[in-house]
Amino acid sequence: MTPLTDSELSDVNGQAGVSIMPNIAMNIHFDVLAWGDSDGLGSNNIWGGQTSGGYVGLTNFNITNLQIKLRDDDNYNGYNSLMMKPITIDVATGYIPYGADTTFVRIGPGALKISMDQMQFDVALGPHVDTTTGNTPVLKQVLGVATLGPMDVYVNPQSYVDVYSHASHGVTFNVNMILDSINIAYVSWGGH
């Protein structure tokens, strides 16, 4: 090996950050995914009548064959597989919209294709239970069944999410997502 001279090194550029080349495939299932209110209408009850808390949520939630990968089979907005752009995570300081001294994280989702064969779930209600003792909400009052599929979503490689401190006491997310195409074969809602 031969050492590089200072003039040769001056032609070398580098960039720190993380690049992720996703190729993920999975099935997802939840028995119950719920949001609860422990006191019902509580102090906001201007309508009268005694109420207690309850839950609203999803049961029997299933996503079949969810895939997240780099786009390789499309030409939306002039993109082609030769432009393969991975997911990136970078940290920078001084971007004008946030202020000269603001440090932020930029997450670039890259050129992604998100697809699935089907998503199906029940939307249901149920009474409030104490979940601190390990009880799972029981949602037996089914409002309906939602079904969606097959679906393909193409994320534009110019999309990004910036995360930065909001006046030193919070976090701000600036989301700039561009979807080149969303293809869904069917969406349905019905009863059992």
pLDDT of 1 over the 60 cut = no
Residue 44: is its pLDDT beyond 80? no
Instruction: Note the pTM of the prediction, 2 decimals.
Output: 0.73
Mean pLDDT of the 152-167 span: 89
Main-chain dihedrals φ then ψ at residue 26, nearest 5 degrees = -160, 160
Is residue 52's pLDDT more than 90? no
pLDDT at 56: 96
Q: Tell me: the pLDDT tens digits for 123-148?
A: 999 998 877 778 889 999 999 999 99
